[in-house]
Amino acid sequence: MRGASGTAKSPRASRADPWVRAPRAAGSYAGQVDWIRYDAALFDLDGVLTPTALVHMAAWAETFDAFLAGRGQPAYTEQDYYDHVDGRPRYEGVATFLASRGIELPYGDPSDPPEADTVCGIGNRKNVAVNEVLDRDGVDPYPGSLRLLDHLGDAGIRMAVVSSSANAPHVLKVSGIADRFEVVVDGAVAARDGLPGKPEPDTFLAAADRLGVAADRAVVLEDATSGVRAGKAGGFGLVVGVDRGAGPQALSAAGADVVVADLAELLP
C-alpha cells in the first residue's frame, strides 16, 4: 500500500496483523491442481487477489461499532464479520448482522444517505469509509496472486472476477490488474441483472457463461465460506478455498476441494 495514514486499518497485510493468519509454506499444494483440465479461473477479489478484505473488515468494524454504541449491545467482532458479512452483498451483510443481534431497522433504499439508520444507509456509510481508504492509499495485489495470474495468462486460461462488492472495478483499477480479466461480475452487475448474491451460485455461473466456459471446466477461488458454498452449488470443476482468516476447517466444511493460504501454492 502507498502512504497509509489515519485511523483506518491499512490494506497491506503484515504477519503481526491480528486480522491475518500466518500462511503455510508456499508450495505445500503444488501439483494438486492440474490446470490443463480447466479453461477458466473465476476469482473473488477482496482477500483473494488483493488485501482489500482488510479495508472492508476495518470499515465494517468502524461502522457497526458506531451504530451499536449506546444500544446495550456487545461490540462487533471479527467473528461477526466471518459469520454474517464476509462475501455477502453489502446490504445483505448489514441485514444478516442486524438479524443476528435481534435489531430491526427499515430496509430503506440504496439512495439513502450514509447517515440514515436504515439497512441501506448503514451499508452506504460503510462504503464511504472503504472508498476514502482506497482513494487515499491505493492497494497492491498479493504477490502470490500476481504470480498465479501470470502463470494462468501464459497458459491461456481465461479469467474473470466475481465479487459481491460494487467497488470491484475501482479496486481492480487502483491495484493495476484490471486488464487481466475479460469479465467482471460485481455487486452492481448482479443488481442490474437480478442475480442473487453468494452463497447462491448465480454470479459465478454468469461469469462462466460470459466467458463461454462450462462450469465443470472452471475453477472458483474464494476466501469466504459463502463464496465457497456458491462455487460448490454451481457444480464447478474445482473450488479452491483461500484461507485469509476464515480457517481451513470452515472452508473445507463449506465445500472447498483444496484449501491454500496463498495462491502461489497452486503453481506447478
Enumerate the domain spans of the chain. 35-51+140-266, 55-136
* Residue spans of alpha helices (H) in 112-267: 119-137, 143-154, 168-175, 187-193, 202-211, 225-233, 248-254
For residue 12, pLDDT over 50 is answered with no
Of the residues 44, 86, 243, 257, only one is catalytic, namely 44
pLDDT at site 137: 82
Superfamily of domain covering 55-136:
Putative phosphatase; domain 2 (1.10.150.240)
Q: If we measure between CA atoms, which residue out of 163, 211, 209 comes closest to residue 188?
A: 163
Least confident span in 22-36, 73-87, 120-134: 22-36
Q: Which three cell numbers stand for residue 157?
A: 486460461
pLDDT at site 91: 94
For residue 166, pLDDT over 70 is answered with yes
For residue 7, pLDDT over 90 is answered with no
Of the residues 46, 86, 223, 257, only one is catalytic, namely 46
Mean predicted confidence (pLDDT) in 189-197: 95
pTM for the model? 0.73
CATH no. of 35-51+140-266: 3.40.50.1000
Least confident span in 53-57, 84-88, 198-202, 256-260: 53-57
pLDDT at site 89: 86
46 catalytic residue (yes or no): yes
**Residues 6+ positions from 62 with CB-CB distance below 8 Å:** 8, 126, 129
For residue 23, pLDDT over 80 is answered with no
- Contact status, residue 201 vs residue 231, Cβ threshold 8 Å: yes
pLDDT at site 25: 37
For residue 20, pLDDT over 60 is answered with no
The model's confidence at residue 150, banded by pLDDT at 50, 70 and 90, is very high
Of all helices (H) and strands (E), which one includes residue 99?
helix 90-100
- Contact status, residue 141 vs residue 49, Cβ threshold 8 Å: yes
Mean predicted confidence (pLDDT) in 203-208: 98
**Could you give the dihedral angle defined by the CA atoms of residues 200, 201, 204 and 209, in that order, rounded to the nearest 10 degrees?**
-130
pLDDT at site 55: 84
- Contact status, residue 244 vs residue 47, Cβ threshold 8 Å: yes
- Contact status, residue 55 vs residue 11, Cβ threshold 8 Å: yes
179 catalytic residue (yes or no): no
For residue 143, pLDDT over 60 is answered with yes
What's the mean pLDDT when you consider all of the chain? 87
Length of the chain: 268
The model's confidence at residue 79, banded by pLDDT at 50, 70 and 90, is very high
Mean predicted confidence (pLDDT) in 138-166: 95
Beta bridge partners of 40: 158, 218
